[in-house]
């Protein structure tokens, strides 16, 4: 009866380990997939979009006097980089998490405003150089670009922050599983040892000690005494 109880407890421990292990595997797989798809993959998309506004536009529309000849020569390249990075931005919008959505929406509106304004400046640069130069000197374009760059940096930081939290959550879960495994395996080892011990104890042959036979004492046969009959007197 004792062995049956230990076997039942041992089975329960094994099932618990297997169940908890399956839960840990599902949770970590889900978290890892989320980190890769929503935290790591979007980083280059944000980086390239940042480069378009922070490098491509700022290099062609400096705060100093605009080189219109250079601007005309770079127009095709500017539009090409805009298109390529906009495709990346659209991909990012599809995979952005709930935390990022409000910031994404406001940034997207700012981007469309800046793109329309840049189109206007490039068109005006062919007919009204003074107007374009005035806009650039006043820093109007940069005032529109700076909030976009700030938001893109904030989105990048948010990717890192959320990804770090999710990674720490996975590590905590693994730590709990490791502690559970150590305790469960220790208990299972003790129970298994008890079962093995009880089995060997039953199978161990019992030594029979031989007792020395006592020599039977021979009883003496009683000797019948003959009683002499009295002699008859002969007359």
Is the pLDDT at 228 greater than 70, yes or no? Answer: no
Among 17-31, 98-112, 190-204, 211-225, which range has the highest average pLDDT? 98-112
pLDDT tens column, 4-41: 776 777 777 777 777 777 788 788 777 777 777 777 77
Contacts 24+ apart (CB under 8 A), 193-199: 194/6, 195/3, 195/6, 195/7, 195/10, 198/2, 198/3, 199/3
pTM of the complete model beyond 0.85: no
As a whole number of Å, the end-to-end CA separation of the chain is 100
pLDDT tens column, 168-183: 777 787 787 777 777 7
CA dihedral 67, 72, 77, 83 (to 10 degrees): 110
DSSP line for 140-169: HHHHHHHHHHHHHHHHHHHHHHHHHHHHHH
Domain ranges of the chain: 2-196
pLDDT tens column, 129-140: 888 888 888 888
At 214, phi and psi to the nearest 5?
-80, 135
Helix H or strand E segment including 72: helix 68-95
CB atoms within 10 A of CB 48: 17
> What CA–CA distance (Å, rounded) separates 217 from 212?
15
């Amino acid at each position: 009866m004792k062995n049956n109880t230990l076997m039942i407890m041992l089975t329960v421990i094994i099932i618990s380990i297997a169940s908890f292990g399956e839960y840990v595997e599902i949770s970590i797989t889900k978290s890892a997939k989320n980190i890769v798809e929503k935290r790591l993959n979007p980083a280059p998309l944000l980086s390239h979009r940042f480069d378009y506004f922070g490098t491509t536009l700022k290099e062609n529309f400096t705060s100093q006097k605009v080189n219109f000849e250079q601007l005309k020569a770079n127009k095709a390249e500017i539009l090409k980089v805009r298109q390529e990075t906009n495709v990346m931005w659209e991909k990012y919008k599809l995979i952005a998490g709930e935390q990022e959505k409000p910031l994404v929406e406001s940034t997207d509106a700012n981007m469309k405003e800046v793109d329309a304004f840049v189109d206007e400046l490039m068109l005006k640069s062919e007919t009204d150089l003074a107007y374009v130069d005035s806009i650039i000197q006043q820093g109007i374009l940069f005032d529109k670009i700076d909030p976009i760059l700030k938001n893109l940096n904030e989105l990048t930081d948010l990717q890192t922050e959320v990804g770090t939290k999710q990674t720490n959550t996975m590590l905590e879960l693994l730590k709990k599983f490791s502690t559970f495994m150590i305790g469960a395996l220790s208990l299972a080892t003790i129970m298994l040892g008890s079962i093995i011990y009880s089995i060997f104890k039953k199978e161990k042959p019992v030594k029979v000690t031989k007792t020395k036979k006592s020599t039977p004492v021979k009883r003496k046969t009683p000797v019948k005494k003959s009683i002499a009959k009295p002699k008859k007197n002969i007359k």
